[in-house]
Amino acid sequence: MFEDNSTYSEHDDEQESKDINYCNTCLCEVLSEIVEREKENEEYNITCDLKKSKQPVCSDIIPFIIQTPYGHPFFTWGRIGTNQCFATVFFRVVKVDCKNNCAVFQLLKPNKSIIDEDTDCVENSSICGVDFVTQTKECVVVDLKCYSSVKFISPSFIKKYK
Q: Tell me the pLDDT tens digit for each residue of 6-56.
A: 333 344 444 444 444 444 568 989 999 999 888 876 654 434 444 444 444
Q: In terms of Cα–Cα distance, which of 73, 72, 150, 76 is closest to 106?
A: 76
Give residue-wise pLDDT tens across range 64-110.
Answer: 999 999 999 999 999 999 999 999 999 999 999 999 999 999 999 99
Q: In terms of Cα–Cα distance, which of 71, 94, 108 is closest to 141?
A: 94
Given a contact cutoff of 8 angstroms between Cβ atoms, the answer to whether 155 and 63 are in contact is yes
Dihedrals phi, psi of 137, to nearest 5 degrees: -100, 15
